[in-house]
């Protein structure tokens, strides 16, 4: 079985074709600048790579080009489009409308477009555009929606509710939904496999630390709490997002700066986080370089980030009544040793015995154990693979 995974952005479309028997990536690539001058498809497959400098006025043209690349006589990996058994689409927000991976029907498409756009106005409309383009170009091929929020659907009410009027939650769906669910699911299952234990027997805190960061408590294979909220603005401070902030401070800030509500939220999403604190960059490589050259605000931003992640680790250990494993994943989690060390420093009381030497070893893309052999709590670096989860979920659905 071959599954095409599609991750559509407003002007981009990334894809992977995965053979589910071997879970091997047969081809992958991405279209950039869709609807903008200078559009481009970078496609890899069959041991080669090709650049297509072709005008892509819309996502339909982009997906047609992707299929051409998959069928290409040099880098192509399939002989006919019929070899693609299904398409799995990444969707950021599901609200309470979808709790799990869902096969697309006209009814499902209607709900996606009419109900969920306001929950993720930057992301869900792009996913729907990509989906519609695929449906037009590949009629008859099953399409699945795989939501970033699904893995968090097991959270109990006490974890996902905000302390607001219960009727407002019921009427407007204002609650915590979480994000990065496919990543948290993938790395928690990989951790169980690596440790040779059943997921049901483990209490894991998964730290997806990237440009957007979220921390999840995975108890017995299920998410019981996560740091992101109604939108991916909540939780720890991130590249440019503030993370949690007192709602009254937002109103105060908007008044002082003469911003509308919407503009204040845009400010919190785009101008804050470690970029706002450091005044230098949202990129952790720049912050580490800044700290090394004596920039105190870069050092402060890194300090705040690690401190906030550490607090979630402690809180979730308490929420689960124990801790067996901490997992680090995503751009920062996989590549920034100083953040991992600062998060784990002082967690001996929880049973963490950190191995600084292993932590500083070269990242070779494999799963790495960075706690000492005798450590009660295992600390692992696990490269995330959200595309594989989307493909697996799609294949399971079929």
The site for ligand AMP (CB under 6 A) is made up of: 210-211, 239, 283-285, 330-332, 335-336
- Residues 37 and 54: their CA atoms lie apart, in Å, by 10
Give the nearest distance from C-beta 180 to ligand AMP in angstroms.
9
Parallel/antiparallel/unpaired status of strands 143-147 and 86-91: parallel
The number of residues in the chain equals: 398
Give the nearest distance from C-beta 305 to ligand AMP in angstroms.
10
CA dihedral sign of residues 388, 392, 394, 398:
positive
Q: Decide: 284 and 299 in contact? Cβ < 8 Å.
A: no
Catalytic residue check, 68: no
| Residue 6 phi, psi dihedral angles, 5° rounding | -120, 130
Q: Decide: 99 and 151 in contact? Cβ < 8 Å.
A: no
| Residue 101 phi, psi dihedral angles, 5° rounding | -55, 135
Q: 46's torsion region: left (phi>0), alpha (psi -120 to 50) or beta?
A: left
Looking at the Cβ atoms of 145 and 301, the one nearer to ligand AMP is: 301
Give the nearest distance from C-beta 364 to ligand AMP in angstroms.
12
- Residues 351 and 374: their CA atoms lie apart, in Å, by 10
Looking at the Cβ atoms of 94 and 384, the one nearer to ligand AMP is: 384
- Residues 263 and 249: their CA atoms lie apart, in Å, by 14
Looking at the Cβ atoms of 19 and 283, the one nearer to ligand AMP is: 283
- Give the number of C-alpha atoms closer than 13 A to the C-alpha of residue 268, restricted to the C-beta side: 25
Looking at the Cβ atoms of 63 and 238, the one nearer to ligand AMP is: 238
Which one from 72, 148, 225, 324 is the annotated catalytic residue?
A: 148
- Residues 160 and 178: their CA atoms lie apart, in Å, by 9
Closest residue to ligand AMP, Cβ-based?
331
Looking at the Cβ atoms of 177 and 328, the one nearer to ligand AMP is: 328
Q: Indicate the SS3 state at residue 288.
A: helix
Give the nearest distance from C-beta 298 to ligand AMP in angstroms.
12
Looking at the Cβ atoms of 111 and 269, the one nearer to ligand AMP is: 269
Give the nearest distance from C-beta 381 to ligand AMP in angstroms.
12
Cα-Cα-Cα-Cα torsion 34, 35, 36, 41, nearest 10 degrees, comes to: 20
Give the nearest distance from C-beta 153 to ligand AMP in angstroms.
23
Looking at the Cβ atoms of 329 and 375, the one nearer to ligand AMP is: 329
Give the nearest distance from C-beta 183 to ligand AMP in angstroms.
9
CA dihedral sign of residues 395, 396, 397, 398:
positive
- Residues 239 and 336: their CA atoms lie apart, in Å, by 14
Hey, how many other C-beta atoms are within 10 angstroms of the C-beta on 351? 15
Give the nearest distance from C-beta 185 to ligand AMP in angstroms.
16
Secondary structure E strands in 123-241: 143-147, 203-209, 213-219, 222-226
CA nearest to 331, candidates 378, 380, 383, 263? 383
Looking at the Cβ atoms of 147 and 284, the one nearer to ligand AMP is: 284
What is the set of active-site residues?
148
């Amino acid at each position: 079985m071959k599954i095409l995974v599609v991750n559509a952005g407003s002007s981009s479309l990334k894809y992977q074709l995965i053979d589910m028997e071997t879970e091997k990536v047969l081809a992958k690539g991405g279209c950039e600048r869709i609807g903008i001058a200078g559009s481009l498809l970078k496609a890899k497959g069959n041991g080669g790579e090709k650049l297509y400098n072709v005008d892509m006025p819309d996502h339909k043209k982009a997906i047609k080009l992707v299929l051409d690349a998959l069928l290409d006589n040099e880098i192509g990996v399939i002989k006919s489009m019929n070899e693609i058994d299904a398409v799995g689409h990444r969707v950021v927000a599901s609200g309470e409308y979808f709790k799990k991976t869902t096969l697309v029907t006209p009814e499902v498409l209607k709900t996606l477009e009419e109900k969920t756009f306001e929950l993720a106005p930057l992301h869900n409309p792009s996913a729907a555009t990509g989906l519609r383009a695929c449906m037009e170009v590949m009629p008859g091929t099953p399409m699945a929606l795989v939501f970033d929020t699904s893995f968090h659907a097991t959270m109990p009410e006490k974890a996902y509710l905000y302390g607001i009027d219960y009727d407002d939650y019921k009427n407007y769906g204002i609650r915590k939904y979480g994000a990065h669910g496919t990543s948290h699911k993938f790395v928690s299952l990989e951790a169980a496999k690596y440790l040779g234990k059943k997921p049901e027997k483990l209490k894991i805190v998964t730290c997806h630390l990237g440009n957007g960061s979220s921390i999840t408590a995975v108890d017995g294979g299920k998410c019981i709490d996560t740091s992101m909220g109604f939108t991916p603005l909540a939780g720890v401070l991130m590249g440019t997002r503030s993370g949690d902030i007192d709602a009254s401070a937002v109103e105060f800030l908007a008044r002082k700066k003469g911003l509308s509500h919407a503009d204040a939220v845009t400010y919190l999403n785009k101008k804050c986080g470690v970029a706002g604190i450091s005044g230098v960059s949202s990129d952790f490589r720049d912050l580490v370089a800044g700290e090394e050259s004596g920039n105190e605000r870069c050092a402060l931003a890194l300090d705040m980030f690690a401190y906030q992640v550490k607090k979630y680790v402690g809180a979730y250990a308490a929420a689960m009544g124990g801790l067996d494993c901490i997992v680090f994943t995503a751009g920062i989690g996989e590549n920034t040793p100083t953040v991992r060390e600062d998060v784990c420093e002082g967690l001996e009381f929880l049973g963490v015995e950190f191995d600084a030497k292993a932590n500083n070893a070269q990242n070779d893309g494999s799963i790495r154990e960075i706690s000492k052999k005798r450590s009660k709590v295992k600390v692992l670096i696990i490269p995330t693979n959200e595309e594989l989860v989307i493909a697996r979920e799609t294949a399971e659905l079929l």
